Amino acid sequence: MSQLSSDLPAFPMQKAKGCPLDPPPEYAELRTERPVAKARLWDGKEVWLITGYDEIRSIFTDPRISVDNTQPGYPWLSEQAKTVVLTGGVTPVGRMDPPEHTAMRRMLGQGFLVKKIQGMRGELEALVNGLIDDIMAGPRPVDLVAALAMPVPATALGWILGVPPADQRLISLVPRLFDEDSGLDGAMAARAELFKYMEDLITLKESDPGDDIISTLVGYHRQGELSRPSVLIQSVTLVAAALDTTRSMITNGILALLQHPEQAAALIANPDLAPAAVEELLRYTVVTEFASKRVAAADIEIAGETIKAGDGIICLISAGNRDEKVFTDPDTLDIRRSPRQHLGFGAGIHTCIGKQLARMELEVVYGTLFRRIPGLRLAVPFDEVVFRNTFDVQGAKALPVTW
């Protein structure tokens, strides 16, 4: 099969008006008719869009597919994204292929061991309850992005990284790094701030190491297994990848539950549904819509199409998560279904390294918030909620609520 280049749709595609949590309607058409199809990017380059669940999993697990964003065919979505994304001669773990990726995941994985993450649960519950105490004691309406969705992942990641408890700078820094509305100058200024912030933290851990991931990376550097610049790049990558995604998932999940009050009521009535609710919300509302970009390292045949070596690929997770061949009634939010096979964390060797931490944060936030404030509701009409214009991560800029 082939597709005439003169008749390619433009990508990204627009979401339907009033449906910011749903994928663009064209995704369903592509998934049904051409789950592997070409589109045209802003710079005129062609890219393969993968919309079928099985096809996406195939791409994620195929060793002939590369995540190396220095390849000429890598599908950048804007000039600003290409400029701001981490560069400087050191490859971040998310853009490494094996065997370098295997070694780097081994080093980083020590900070995200399941036992270590579960040991943080009590502290996380106390943090969330404290933030909700402040919310309930303060004025209404309140912006849940600033009051809850950002402080939770920033604080929890700080525990993993070894950030001093009183240091709150990450809360304001990371959103600016990925906000296209700030322009290239604003994004580059935030990038420089983040690098300086992490450089200072690494220097601190060199003289005063602890039981945290930065200290672990510093240890590998001292053993000669990791360069000093790589310690910095991998540390910055963890921050940039983890904070914005979790903030947006907290925000969008709350918004989805507010838009489906029967689902929120079910969660309030049965708190044991929280783990299933997390999985369903990760399936239903995808925040990393454009993050799964790849390049073919060799020719591959998939769904009747030939993807040539060097071709750019974008796996549209939200389309795969709405695939009716895998999920019954996929456009319906149902927190009782517990779809553990969703693609919200990716699949294969590049599965999100922090997924257990993210799951725990989401479970605690959703369960605690709706239990403690069962009358929670939007303080503005749904269509007045403004969504951010970012490179890869989608989420509401603010979420004003009352009760």
Span 3-18, pLDDT tens digits: 545 589 999 998 888 8
Cβ atoms < 10 Å from Cβ of 101: 17
Instruction: Determine the Cα angle at 179 with ends 174 and 180, to 5°.
Output: 150
Q: Are 398 and 145 in contact (CB under 8 A)?
A: yes
Predicted local distance difference test score (pLDDT) of residue 19: 85
Which residue matches tokens 């851990």?
Answer: 205
How much is the pLDDT for 87? 56
pLDDT at position 88 is: 61
What pLDDT score does 367 carry?
96
Q: How far apart are CA 114 and CA 118, in angstroms?
A: 6
What's the domain count of the chain? 1
Phi and psi based region of residue 392 (left: phi greater than 0; alpha: psi -120 to 50; beta: remaining): alpha
Q: Which domain holds residue 16?
A: 5-402
The pLDDT, as a whole number, for residue 146 is 92
What values do phi and psi take at 305, rounded to 5? -115, 155
Instruction: Please write the tens of the pLDDT for every residue from 382-401.
Output: 999 988 766 578 889 899 99
| Contact predicate 156/120, CB 8 Å | yes
Closest CA to 108 of 207, 209, 212: 212
| 109, HSE (Cβ side, Cα atoms, 13 Å) | 11
pLDDT < 50 stretches in the chain: 1-2, 4
CATH number for the domain that contains residue 261: 1.10.630.10
Cα–Cα distances in Å, from 330 out to 321, 337, 357?
8, 11, 26
pLDDT attached to residue 4: 45
